[in-house]
A and B are shown apart, each in its own frame.
Chain A
Amino acid sequence: MSAKEIMNKEEMARTLNRMVFQILEAIRSEDGFCLIGIRRGGAVLAKRMADILTKEGKKDIKIGYLDITLYRDDLSSIHDYPVLQSTEIDFDITGKNIVLVDDVIYTGRTTRAALDALIDYGRPKKILLAAFIDRGHRELPIQPDFTGKTVPTSRSEIVDVQLEEQAGCDCILINKKA
């Protein structure tokens, strides 16, 4: 299996910063703004975005984490037993402007599941989507509002987003499927 690095730690930090400012610009006038990260990669990125926003002087950034396992449409076909992560949204999302954060957008099915899950929690005013990597091959009419980097891939490749909090280092690799 050959791995190609497409982003290193510095590039990732710059891109994330840029995304945060784009989000700030877009939601400037809106109240009730909150970030919700999709477990597991998106949750880490959402936390980092919240940290950047705090540094920028934005107070009281609400942040939540969403596990979408129970909403997947391919549960019975994925190989091993999926391990449930916990969903932690300790505020009412009704009327909020939500930025949904995921690390990679691919078929769009995860986002679909996340939207269904969110709507079970309440009726947000608006949901925006931030995806760090857009690797194409959408199977549903879903597009991110904020994209970190667009990476053309083939279906036989795997985009591996490694994050310090989980993998011990920050980098993005493209692997050929074994």
Chain B
Amino acid sequence: MAYKRKDLLGMKDLTKEEILYLLETAQKFTEINERDVKKVPTLKGKTVINLFFEPSTRTRTSFEIAGKRLSADTINFTASASSTTKGETLIDTVKNMEAMKSDIFVVRHSYSGAVKYIAEHTDAKVVNAGDGLNEHPTQALLDMLTIRQSKGRLEGLEVAIIGDITHSRVARSDVWAMTKLGVNVRLFGPTTMIPKHSEVFGCRVCKSMNEAVDGADVIIMLRIQRERQGKLLIPSTKEYAKYFGLTKDKLALAKPDALVMHPGPINRGVELMSNVADSDNSGVLKQVTNGVAVRMAALYILGIGNNKGGIDENAS
């Protein structure tokens, strides 16, 4: 098992083996987060810059904690308080950060492909923390890690992803990765939020909420992005909650031990009712816990990957 790439940009390009290697490594890191002293010296002296051109609290904090637990120096950069507001181009910003001898960039950007563009213009390692509507690979990894811990496997599971599929990078990363690992994914959402050409995903598109949750092992509810497209694509949040929200009654149609997940932040009472979000079926907070381990694994794998090669390992 190995991961030889410079960057972690998305799940679409990865092989099944690479995804499994990331998951295995992340599983090992979960133990460190349970210790009293939650720190290992592995990335001492490496500089990790969180380049967030789009607001985020959970993902940024998660990456920051992950970096710090590996002893890397993590620095946060938020676009609103930077030269980008003075008209500096994206690549100039990145080149300047690189000139300060940074090792890893963790990048979030509102344009799909922006992170790949940055990765192609820097020698530093790049982790995609979400780019536009494209991908959010660490979210997919933490989703799969949470599912695997709960169900003991991934292959053959029935996973429903419900909500705004078109505008969700989480859905895309989940679909690309899960289908490679043999998960049966089904999608459901308002017609205005299902991609026109959904057949490329190789998933079943459901016609009703009942069909979507029927017999599901895992239900992933997506956030209605009220600040973005959400407003135009649905008549009202009340109507959305009625037809596409996950209630106790709807959950009862899934397997009794069905795992409910949500990438956060939750709109309580819209896509996810409070009595479901706080029920025993909910894996929402477990996802957040696993997020740190997954990001540690990503930073670790990229951070140590110099591949200078040669020296034999018998240094007992």
Q: B99 near A: Cβ within 8 Å?
A: no
CB nearest to A84 among chain B residues? B28
* Stretch in A11-19, A23-31, A70-78 with 4+ CB within 8 Å of B: A70-78
- Contact status of A110 and B28, CB under 8 A, knowing A70-B42, A77-B306, A121-B35: no
Give the nearest-CB partner of B21 in chain A.
A81
Binds A, one of B60-68, B109-117, B241-249, B307-315: B307-315
- Complex CA–CA separation, A78 to B70 (angstroms): 19
Interface string of B1-26 (1 = CB under 8 A from A): 11100000000000000000100110
Take A81-B2, A105-B316, A110-B316 as given contacts and tell me if A75 and B304 are in contact as well, using a CB distance cutoff of 8 Å: yes
Give the dominant DSSP class at B's interface. loop
Kindly list chain A residues whose C-beta atoms are within 8 Å of the C-beta of B39.
120
For residue B32, which residues in chain A have a CB less than 8 angstroms away from its CB? 70
What is the CA–CA distance of A135 and B315 in the complex, to the nearest angstrom? 11
The secondary structure that dominates the A interface is: loop
B140 within 8 A of A: no
Q: Within the assembled complex, what's the spacing in Å between the Cα atoms of A120 and B24?
A: 23
By a CB distance below 8 angstroms, the chain B residues around A83 are 1, 24-25
Report Cα–Cα, A159/B313, bound state, in Å: 11
> Does A97 interact with chain B (Cβ within 8 Å)?
no
Interface membership of B264, Cβ < 8 A: no
Contact between A107 and B31, CB atoms less than 8 A apart? no
How many whole Å from B305's CB to the nearest CB in chain A? 7
Taking a contact as CB atoms under 8 Å apart, the answer to whether A109 and B315 are in contact is yes
Contact of A87 among B31, B300, B304, B312 (CB under 8 A): B31
Q: Please name all residues of chain B whose beta carbon is closer than 8 Å to the beta carbon of A79 when the two chains form the complex.
A: 307, 309-313
Q: Which residue from chain B places its CB closest to the CB of A109 in the assembled complex?
A: B315
* Distance between Cα atoms of A84 and B2 in the complex (Å): 12
Please report the total number of A residues contacting B with Cβ < 8 Å. 34
Interface presence of A158 (CB below 8 A): yes
Cβ–Cβ < 8 Å partners of B316 in chain A: 102-107, 110, 135, 159
B301 within 8 A of A: yes
Cβ-based interface call for B252 (8 A): no
Residue numbers in A under 8 Å from B309 (CB-CB): 79
Would you give the shortest CB distance from A127 to chain B, in whole angstroms?
A: 17
B42 touches A75 (CB 8 A): yes
**How far does the alpha carbon of A43 sit from the alpha carbon of B313 in the complex, in Å?**
18
| A22: Cβ under 8 A from any B Cβ | no
CB pair B315 A74 closer than 8 Å: yes
Bound Cα distance from A79 to B25, whole angstroms: 17
Closest beta carbon of chain A to B302's beta carbon, Å: 11
Q: Does A80 contact B (CB under 8 A)?
A: yes
Q: Which of B24, B29, B36, B308 contacts A76 (CB 8 A)?
A: B308
B2-A71 in contact (CB<8A): no
Complex CA distance for A120 and B312, rounded to whole angstroms:
28
CB proximity of A44 to chain B, nearest CB, Å: 14
CB of A81 within 8 A of CB of B1, answer yes
Known interface pairs A83-B24, A84-B25, A84-B29; 17 further A-B residue pairs with C-beta atoms within 8 A, sorted by A's residue number: A70-B32, A70-B300, A71-B42, A74-B315, A75-B42, A77-B306, A77-B308, A79-B307, A81-B1, A81-B2, A83-B25, A84-B28, A104-B314, A106-B314, A107-B316, A135-B316, A177-B312
Binding site for A on B (CB under 8 A): 1-3, 21, 24-25, 28-29, 31-32, 35-37, 39-42, 70, 300-301, 304-316
Report which A residues bind B (CB closer than 8 A).
Answer: 67, 70-71, 74-87, 102-107, 109-110, 116-117, 120-122, 135, 158-159, 177
* 16 A-B interface contacts by CB (under 8 A): A70-B41, A70-B42, A75-B304, A76-B305, A77-B310, A79-B311, A81-B1, A81-B21, A81-B301, A103-B316, A107-B315, A110-B316, A120-B39, A135-B316, A158-B314, A177-B312
Top 4 A-B residue pairs of the complex, sorted by shortest distance between their CB atoms: A84-B28, A104-B316, A76-B306, A70-B40
